[in-house]
């Protein structure tokens, strides 16, 4: 029995880039040969520096970005959707099953619409209800699950705090009864106390509505608190993937070790030695040969500069990493 909701197989996403009308077009390799299985009911975190390809991969899984090569298969109970070659009819169906929660709750909501109309819009666009009464009933039901009062539905977004606006965004994403949610930096713009409230709400909704999440974040502390599994991206590639506790207690890839070393500790006796990464993440227009991390890795040798490491399971476990020197460091 297939327990995966989504299977990502050798997926690459490229964009054409032209600096001006006189310059030559170049290819940007935003995502390169990514493999990832997202289990039904899981809460998987996707982490990495800005420019590592996290959002592009999330949008590819939502069929919002063109997939240059590879496959993204959504395993529905009735059909399997191949998102790289999906028809317009199937894409309309898929939109009901997969939704996005945006990063900025202030920019994501129209100031001209009431909260009721904002939440109801997906139902009307997708024609999921046959009457205004049915629409209102579904809006009230999901608003209640997202801890919004009925009196809130008559107001406009400017009347709400950041946390309340994000709950409105969550309600809008969930009103079509999707199975899969991409949460792209969905708590990054919020205060820490509000972040905890939204994360707890997402976890409660996961249990209540049987949801599967891809949670994109650069905040490792948030990911540690929330996610079941974590995948680490660097320059368009997944370099490590493991259950959350395993990854945080026993990181294998040098990049993951550097990221985890930067997490501050409130215990003065347990301060980590920060592993500094030299320089900036390379350009995706001209990625390094061999291992893409070799330009910043303290363990680099000549083999790393010429050979591309593959994401492999470690000792038959669920822990995967792509490093040629993994048994030496």
| Domain range enclosing 251 | 4-321
- Per residue in 260-300, pLDDT (tens digit) is 988 776 555 556 677 888 878 888 888 999 999 999 999 99
The answer to the question of residue 326 being in a domain is no
The confidence score (pLDDT) of residue 285 equals 86
Residue 153 has pLDDT above 80, yes or no: yes
The strand ranges marked E within the chain are 4-17, 26-39, 43-47, 69-75, 80-82, 98-101, 180-184, 212-216, 229-234, 237-243, 312-313, 320-321
Cβ pair 237, 292 in contact under 8 A: yes
pTM of the model as a whole: 0.92
Q: Is residue 157 part of a domain?
A: yes
User: Would residue 327 count as lying in a domain?
Assistant: no
pLDDT digits (tens, 9 = 90+) for 26-80: 888 999 999 999 999 999 999 999 889 999 999 999 999 999 999 999 998 888 9
Sign of CA dihedral 248, 249, 253, 257: positive
Question: Residue 329 falls within a domain, yes or no?
Answer: no
Task: Give CA separation, 193 vs 37, 104, 152, 271, in Å.
Answer: 32, 17, 22, 24
- In a domain? residue 166: yes
Provide the domain count of the chain.
1
The Cα–Cα gap between 265 and 284 comes to 33
Residue that wins the pLDDT comparison between 190 and 237: 237
How does pLDDT run across 217-241, given as a tens digit for each residue?
988 989 998 999 999 999 999 999 9
Helix (H/G/I), strand (E/B), else coil: 256: helix
* Residue 45 resides in a domain: yes
State the CATH number of the domain containing residue 224.
3.40.50.300
Count, in order, helices (H) and strands (E) of the chain: 10, 12
| Nearest residue to 4 via CA among 74, 84, 100, 58 | 74
The pLDDT of residue 259 is above 60: yes
Mean pLDDT of the chain: 91
- The answer to the question of residue 328 being in a domain is no
Q: How confident is the model at residue 4 (pLDDT cuts 50, 70, 90)?
A: very high
Residue 173 — very low, low, confident or very high, per pLDDT cuts 50/70/90?
very high
């Amino acid at each position: 029995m297939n327990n995966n909701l989504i299977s990502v197989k050798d997926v690459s996403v490229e964009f054409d880039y032209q600096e001006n009308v006189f310059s030559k077009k170049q290819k940007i390799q935003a995502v390169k040969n990514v493999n990832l299985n997202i289990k039904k009911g899981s809460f998987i975190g996707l982490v990495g520096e800005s420019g590592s390809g996290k959002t592009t991969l999330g949008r590819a899984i939502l069929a919002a970005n063109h997939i240059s090569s590879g496959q993204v298969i959504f395993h529905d109970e009735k059909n399997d959707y191949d998102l790289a070659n999906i028809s317009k009819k199937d894409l309309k169906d898929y939109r009901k099953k997969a939704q996005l929660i945006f990063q900025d709750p202030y920019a994501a909501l129209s100031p001209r619409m009431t909260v009721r109309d904002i939440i109801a819009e997906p139902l009307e666009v997708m024609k999921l209800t046959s009457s205004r009464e049915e629409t209102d009933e579904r809006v009230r039901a999901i608003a209640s699950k997202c801890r919004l009062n009925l009196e809130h539905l008559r107001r406009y977004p400017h009347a709400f705090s950041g946390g309340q606006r994000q709950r409105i965004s969550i309600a809008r994403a969930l009103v079509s009864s999707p199975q899969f949610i991409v949460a792209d930096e969905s708590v990054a713009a919020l205060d820490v106390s509000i972040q905890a409230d939204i994360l707890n709400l997402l976890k409660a909704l996961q249990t209540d509505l049987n949801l599967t999440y891809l949670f994109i974040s650069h905040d490792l502390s948030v990911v540690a608190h929330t996610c079941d599994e974590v995948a680490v991206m660097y320059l368009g590639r997944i370099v490590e993937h493991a259950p959350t506790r395993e990854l945080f207690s026993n990181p294998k890839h040098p990049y993951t070790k550097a990221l985890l070393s930067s997490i501050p500790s409130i215990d003065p006796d347990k301060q980590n030695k920060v592993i500094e990464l030299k320089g900036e993440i390379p350009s995706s227009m001209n990625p390094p040969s061999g291992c893409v991390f070799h330009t910043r890795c303290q363990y680099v040798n000549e083999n790393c500069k010429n050979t591309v490491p593959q994401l492999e399971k470690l000792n038959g476990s669920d822990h995967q990493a792509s490093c040629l020197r993994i048994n030496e460091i």
